[in-house]
Amino acid sequence: MNAIQLFQHGGPEQLVWRNVPTGEPRAGEVLVRTTAVGVNFMDIGVRNGQLWRDQPLPLIPGVEGVGEVIALGEGVQSLTMGERVAWVYAQASYAEHVIVPADSLVSVPASIPDDTAAGLMMQGVTAHHFATRFYAVKPGDVALVHAAAGGVGLLLTQMIKLRGGRVIARVSSADKEAIARAAGADDVIVSSDGRFVDEVMRLTANEGVNVVYDGSGAATFQDSMGSLRHHGVLAYYGPVLGSPPSINIAALPRSIMIGFPKFSDHIATRDTLLTCVNELFEWVGSERLKVTIGQRYPLREAARAHIDLQSRRSTGKLLLIP
């Protein structure tokens, strides 16, 4: 099979298109022919050496996708040959075939296209965690969503609106404003320098927001804290883009709370994975949630997808198509 391999950490040029052995599924595993593979910021962290430092090189990046079951390992009875499945965290997904533990796979409803399902997995589960559990949005809550025209931001905006919240979206350029508004954002702030707190306070009559979802890195951290009202919550999830500055916890203003929502905590068991993903599929099937695919690239052009994602030029979900 063909796959993208990483032989040394570094820039996008280190992503190499190679022919590699396909492999056979072991007990409890499934071999899947991929039809759509998701691109995520964590893949950039793997490529540049911030993540998976314990993994020997060469390795195949990627953790999510959609495909068709073509071989079953011993003991797998929950899936059938030819079934369409999706996964949210299986290493080596940048490939024409991937071996995935059966318990990590979910069946894709016939009404959900492959690219939509791929766009829902990592970023959909992440947004679901943010809006339903880490800070469970209530009717009337006001949320500040960073990178609101990106894959997570667009899904998160819609979920906040589904739960009765108000969204103040921040985007990095004026051309992204319409995209954020189309997802349901009530107000949009265009800011690329990390300064936006004055506009947030103007839009909230100096009260601030209940929650900030900040995946934009260290540059936005101070104004994100400053945008919170009393007992507000800052969900920080952008370590690949830079760690926040050191904090004197005793100096935090207005009794605010800061946390790091860890992806795996939301789907710690197969039951919680199925509950989350089935709700996402139901929202899409009922047209209450729309997945925006920003760009599709041939799998061999993974480097170009990384360049576009890292430059912040892209909107929506980026996919690799084998």
Give the model's confidence band at 311: pLDDT under 50 very low, under 70 low, under 90 confident, else very high. Answer: confident
Q: What is the mean pLDDT of residues 294-298?
A: 96
313 versus 114: the higher-pLDDT residue is 114
Residues linked to residue 59 through DSSP beta bridges, in sequence order: 6
Cα separation, 102 vs 87, whole angstroms: 10
User: Which of 137, 126, 162, 172 is closest to 265 using CA atoms?
Assistant: 126
Of all residues in the chain, the percent with pLDDT exceeding 70 is: 99
Is residue 241 pLDDT above 70, yes or no? no
Taking the C-alpha atoms of residue 96 and residue 126, their distance in angstroms, rounded to an integer, is 25
Residue 24, pLDDT above cutoff 70: yes
Query: What pLDDT sits at residue 234?
Result: 97
CA distance 163 to 148: 17
Give the chain's mean pLDDT: 95
77-110 as b/e: b if 16+ CB within 10 A: eebeeebbbbbbbbbbbbbbbbbbbbebbbbbee
The bridge status of strand 84-87 relative to strand 65-72 is antiparallel
Q: What is the DSSP string of 242-272?
A: -PPPP--GGG-GGG-EEE---HHHHT-SHHH
What are the pLDDT digits (tens) for 74-98?
999 999 999 999 999 999 999 999 9
Domains and CATH numbers, the chain: 2-122+266-321 (3.90.180.10), 139-260 (3.40.50.720)
Tokens of 168: 């103040």
User: What mean pLDDT do residues 141-148 have?
Assistant: 97
Cis peptide before 58 (omega within 30 of 0): yes
pLDDT at 240 exceeding the cut of 70: no
CA distances from 35 to 105, 180, 298 (A): 14, 28, 11
Residue 206 backbone zone (phi > 0: left; psi -120 to 50: alpha; other: beta)? left
47 vs 53: CA distance, rounded Å: 10
Q: How far is CA 137 from each of CA 153, 210, 280, rounded to the nearest angstrom?
A: 15, 9, 16
- Spatial separation of the C-alpha atoms in residues 159 and 156, rounded to whole Å: 5
For 188-229, the pLDDT digits (tens) are 999 988 899 999 999 999 999 999 999 988 889 999 999 999
pLDDT digits (tens, 9 = 90+) for 151-164: 999 999 999 999 99
DSSP 66: E
pLDDT given at position 66: 98
Q: Which DSSP letter does residue 147 get? A: S
Q: What is the mean predicted confidence (pLDDT) over 145-154?
A: 95
Q: Give a three-class secondary structure readout of 6-41.
A: ECCCCCHHHEEEEECCCCCCCCCEEEEEEEEEECCH
pLDDT given at position 239: 66
Residue 46's pLDDT band (boundaries 50, 70, 90)? very high
Q: Which two tokens stand for residue 82?
A: 């030819």
**Eight-state DSSP code of residue 88:** S
- At 218 the pLDDT is 84
- pLDDT score of 251: 86
Asked if pLDDT for residue 15 goes beyond 80, the answer is: yes
Residues 211, 133 contacting (CB under 8 angstroms):
no
% residues pLDDT > 90 (the chain): 91
Is the pLDDT reported for residue 26 higher than 70? yes
Sign of CA dihedral 22, 25, 26, 28: positive
